[in-house]
Every structure is written in structure tokens, then in C-alpha cells.
Amino acid sequence: VQLQAFGGGLVQAGGSLRLSCAASGSTFRNYHMGWFRQGPGKEREFVAAISRSASGGKTFYADSVKGRFAISGDKAKNTVYLEMNSLTPEDTAVYYCAASSVVLSGLRVPDHYHSWGRGTLVTVSS
């Protein structure tokens, strides 16, 4: 599966953005789909994931974004979204979408993802 992430940009603190991850070559519903981010000088970190259709489409979130971010998928558009609300400067990062075929317990680990899209930059100003 090939992935392309887009939708990043500059937003003020408290604002919202929606990132999109368009899949091609296969339906995203065959994979666990994750969003990760990498801030300046930081390691890549888990943000959110949605399990593949056969696993019930369950959602998972990092504690730092729980209640503010929402991951979802659109079967017709073969696209996964990350809705981000109440953004803070700490959310500034390059955001990546990725696909995984490992068990659910490994969804928070970047190394468990085999396909990655190019990142999209999100900048939150104070």
C-alpha cells in the first residue's frame, strides 16, 4: 500500500486542522493505520491508530492527544483522517501516516509499520 499524507499548515493555538492520508494500491481497511509525529529535536512518537476492519476498526490514542484528536477512515475515498482540535504549540511536528500488519499490541511502535507516507508539517503558533 502506498500512502500520501497532506493537510498540514500553520494554525494558531486553540485552532483545528484535519490531516488526510490517501491510500493507493490496496484498501487501508486491510491494515492497521497509524499517525505518528516528530517534533524538532524529538524522536518520532505515536499519535493515534485505527485497527483494520477485520479487527473491528478500534481506535487508540496517545495520552497527550486523547480527547483532542480523532482518527477515522472513509472507505469510499480510501483515506484515513486525523482531526486535530485544541491545538497547542507542543503539537508542532511533522505528521506521518503509516500502515501495519502486526498484532494490535504493537500499534504504538513505529518499527511495526511497513509503509509510510511522506510527512506533512503542522505548525501551531502561540
Q: Give the three-state DSSP class for 7.
A: coil
Cα pseudo-dihedral 49, 6, 88, 37, rounded to 10: 50
Confidence of residue 17 (pLDDT cuts 50, 70, 90): very high
Query: With pLDDT > 70 as the criterion, what percentage of the chain qualifies?
Result: 100
With left for phi above 0 and alpha for psi between -120 and 50, is residue 63 left, alpha or beta? alpha
Please compute the mean of the pLDDT values over residues 67-74 and round it to a whole number: 97
Closest CA to 82 of 30, 17, 3: 17
Q: What is the pLDDT of residue 103?
A: 79
Confidence of residue 69 (pLDDT cuts 50, 70, 90): very high
**Which tens digit of pLDDT belongs to each residue from 71-119?**
999 999 999 999 999 999 999 999 999 999 987 788 999 999 999 999 9
